[in-house]
Amino acid sequence: MSEWQVAEPASLGLSGSQLQDIHSDIVSGRYGWIDSFLVIRHDHIAFEQYYQHDYEDIYGEAARTPGPLVVQNWSGPYNYFNVFWHPYFKRSELHSMQSVTKSIVSAVIGIAISRGDFPDLNTPVLSFFDEKKILHVDEAKRAMTLRDLLSMSAGLSWDEGVPYSDPANTFTIMARSPDWVRYTLDQPMSAQPGTEFNYNSGASLVLGQIFLQATGVDIETYTVEHLFGPLGIEHYAWKRTPFGLADTQEGVFLSTRDIAKVASLFLHDGQWQSQRIIPQAWVHDSLRSAFIVSDIGGIGYGYKWWSQSYQYQGKEFTAYLGKGFGGQRPIFLPDLDLVIVVTGWNILPNRPFFTAAEIIARVTSAIDD
């Protein structure tokens, strides 16, 4: 298949009426601002809906008000209320993937390692930089490896656990500096690398800089040749940081169907239409939890992919997903041969939200095998 084929839900073991119920709840506003809802089973589209919202009206005043989510330039790509850039790229069908970009970058690094273009994951991060130009260098920072950047265990002092609308969020502070990689590396160490999970978007930017230095190729160019091209992804956008680096922590824009291709690639152990794109071992390493983030829900984190437990017919299984600011959720359930994609633009705290746990629960309850 060159593109997704559409089939009746019943032919794929799904209840069309229950999927329609989810759609109705989305339309009613139960989950806030949802932009798309796509369900794929057995490599066929079972359900697909898109939702139109007047974001210029919804977020218009916020777009003109200085604050943590209005970054760098009021008319630029880091004003998260700017409808020319968010949630769609320049009013096209390309939707911001936000931190799902990190999952894509992880896939590309796996490809590059398999081709001999990227160094071993145990390589020290500082080996790519001039120590004399970095602040707070100590033995802990010297011990930080590429693997630590991938698994969100760099050990750098960083607080991304508060809402992005909070000026205390380290990411929002970083975003106001000109060189985001330098800002990240200059942070003091708060833990020994590789020992504690601490979500850090700056770590992914450092990986992007290292990718450029190690391969001599911009990661966007490499992604198009070795990932997007083989998947038949022809239309995309990729934001740049103020310093001109491809934003490897939240810069990618894709259509809903195309991010489903990436999820399906991992569902099928790195193969797309019988073509090996990502090594199977890298898929397994990426999805295996390097850290258990929360015992509640069995939430884990691997190489920039999340995992989450769910119940189905009285048994416990594991789902895997990317998570992007605003509600970007490509989810795949290998045991049920199921891909679910939800996109949205719920960027303010304390508002309705379609969580991954509820998405999984509602779609799996529609299975009628």
Is residue 369 situated within a structural domain?
no
Q: Is 135 helix (H, G, I), strand (E, B) or coil?
A: coil
* Amino acid at the residue 257: R
pLDDT at 224: 98
Write down the pTM of the prediction: 0.97
Token pair, residue 191, equals 């833990």
Q: Are 341 and 323 in contact (CB under 8 A)?
A: no
In a domain, 90, yes or no: yes
What six digits make up the tokens of 275?
Answer: 């073509």
Q: Is the dihedral of CA 333, 203, 152, 210 positive or negative?
A: positive
Residue 2 pLDDT: 58
Can you tell me the distance from the alpha carbon of 364 to that of 22, in angstroms, rounded to the nearest whole number? 12
Q: What residues of the chain score a pLDDT lower than 50?
A: 1
Asked if the bond preceding 167 is cis, omega within 30° of 0, the reply is no
Contacts (Cβ under 8 Å, ≥6 apart) of 295: none
> With contact defined as beta carbons under 8 Å apart, do 279 and 110 qualify?
yes
CB 14 within 8 A of CB 45: no
Give the pLDDT score at 74.
Answer: 82
Cβ proximity of 202 and 183 under 8 Å: yes
313 in a structural domain: yes
Q: Are 11 and 364 in contact (CB under 8 A)?
A: no
The C-alpha atoms of residue 68 and residue 175 are separated, in whole angstroms, by: 9
Q: What are phi and psi of 113, to 5 degrees?
A: -65, -40
DSSP structure string for 324-341: BTTTBEEEEEGGGTEEEE
* Whole-number Å distance between alpha carbons of 40 and 331: 10
Q: Tell me what pLDDT residue 369 has.
A: 79
pLDDT at 116: 98
Q: How far apart are alpha carbons 215 and 341 in whole angstroms? A: 32
Residue environment code for 134-173, b if the CB has 16+ CB neighbours within 10 A, otherwise e: eeebeebbebbbbbbbbbbbbbbebebeebbeeeebbbbe
Please state the length of the chain.
369
Q: According to the model, what pLDDT value does residue 42 have?
A: 98
Determine contact, residues 23/14, Cβ cutoff 8 Å.
no
* pLDDT of 73: 81
pLDDT score at 1: 45
Which token pair is 137? 């260098």
Residue 315: which domain range? 5-364
* Cβ atoms of residues 356 and 321 within 8 Å: yes
Domain CATH code at residue 313: 3.40.710.10
Query: In angstroms, what is the C-alpha Rg of the chain?
Result: 20
The domain total for the chain is 1
